[in-house]
Amino acid sequence: MEEYKWYYAEITKERILKSAARKGRLGVPAAKTYVHRRIYRSYMEDFAALTPPKQTMYCYLLDFSYIFVVKYTNKELLSMKKITNEHIENFKAYLQNEERSDATVEKYTRDIAAFHEWLNGREVDKSAVLMYKSRLIDAYAPASVNSILSSLNSFFRFMDWHDCHVKTLKIQRQIFAKSERELTKAEYERLLNAARKRGNQKLYYLMQTLCNTGIRISELRYIDVNAVKTGKATIRCKGKMRVVILTAPLCKMLKGYLKEQGIATGSVFQTRTGKPLNRSNIWRMLKALCDSAGVSRDKVFPHNFRHLFARTFYSIQKDVVRLADILGHSSINTTRVYTMETGAVHRRQMQKLGLLRC
């Protein structure tokens, strides 16, 4: 048995327990089957190469390590489903390893942390998740509820807590956009005028960049000095890459801004420390502009400039496939949300059909 001591230590400590702990699964009900399966799969090739006597000893070591995990893992932990900060960190690392975007990782972990706080030390079971779902329905819009439930279900899959999965809400596809949320071109012009009167050149050019490219706010950092020089920006978002064209008038405008601000490298829109502006910086500047522009605060948020770009482009080109490519959508169904008109516009279009005889 002496010659197998080191080999056994490597199997159990370095390969079995470490791999299980890395996934955050040691101490949960599925740990036993998960670890045993990993042992079997990881060492099948080694096993086939061994001589028969060593194969016998190898099987003994596998069985012993399996018993070690089953017998010596805390039985209370095995029967409980409690979220810990370590679980959340492991889940975050898993999402990063899956190459999810920074925004997705941040959103998923934030949703799990909020659920963890709501549980207040209680165990996770289906009834608790359903109770939390009811609370979400009372507090959020259906789309937001489904977004949070998607985060939770992803975490439950990671933890092998499949019995905790809950169904998302069924949402009927909307035909019309909400007029109280849609930013009009006239309101956009008022925001630009208000920014110029305040002397806020950064916000003035930022809004025009968003509205003339249709980029997401998280993609603004890719509009850098080099993009302005070449007239195109390479965007990397959600595991995809696309090229966004900057028009000649926009490039000319931004070159003047860069020269005025003395920016020679990096992102066009920076903080005082030279870092790219983040979502919260931009959100705060936009909200401060609402009153002087006479535009409802409900309409003024970064993503609405993307919607205005999409509606304007579609009204001229009528090419939803091309628009989907420009916006970076994998599905045209996603793009359809951006092209919806308000009920008032639809009513005027119906009246133009000329099919009514009074």
pLDDT tens-digit map of 137-184:
999 989 899 999 999 999 999 988 999 999 999 877 666 666 678 889
Q: What is the percent of the chain with per-residue pLDDT over 70, rounded to a whole number?
A: 73
Distance, in Å, from the CA atom of 331 to the CA atom of 318, rounded to the nearest integer, reads 17
Q: Is 246 in contact with 210 (CB distance < 8 Å)? A: no
Give the Å distances, CA to CA, from 97 to 94, 171, 243, 291. 5, 32, 25, 44
**Shortest CA distance to 278 belongs to which of 226, 327, 217, 237?**
217
Residue 349 has pLDDT above 80, yes or no: no
Share the mean pLDDT of the chain: 79
Question: Is 28 a residue whose pLDDT tops 70?
Answer: no
pLDDT of residue 4: 37
Q: How far apart are CA 171 and CA 132, in angstroms?
A: 19
* Mean pLDDT score, 90-99: 90
What does the alpha-carbon distance between residue 270 and residue 224 come to, in Å, rounded to a whole number?
Answer: 10
Superfamily of domain 185-347: Intergrase catalytic core (1.10.443.10)
- What's the Cα-to-Cα distance from 257 to each of 210, 244, 251, 306, rounded to whole Å? 15, 20, 10, 22
- The predicted-structure confidence for 227-274, as pLDDT tens digits, reads as follows 999 999 999 877 788 999 999 999 999 999 999 999 999 999 998 888
pLDDT of residue 51 exceeding 80: no
* CATH number of this structure's domain 85-164: 1.10.150.130
Q: For 270-300, how does the pLDDT look when each residue is reduced to its tens digit (9 = 90+)?
A: 988 888 998 888 999 999 999 899 999 989 9
Query: Which pLDDT belongs to residue 342?
Result: 65
Q: What is the pLDDT of residue 343?
A: 63
- Select, from the ranges 131-135, 281-285, 297-301, 316-320, the one with the highest average predicted confidence (pLDDT): 131-135
The pLDDT value given to residue 337: 79
Task: Give long-range contacts, CB 8 A cutoff, 24+ apart: 143-147.
Answer: 143/171, 145/169, 146/171, 147/107, 147/111
- Predicted local confidence at residue 280, as pLDDT: 86
- Structural domain spans, the chain: 2-78, 85-164, 185-347
Q: Which residues contact 66 (CB under 8 A, 6 or more apart)?
A: 32, 35, 36, 39
Q: How far apart are CA 278 and CA 165, in angstroms?
A: 33
Residues linked to residue 355 through DSSP beta bridges, in sequence order: none
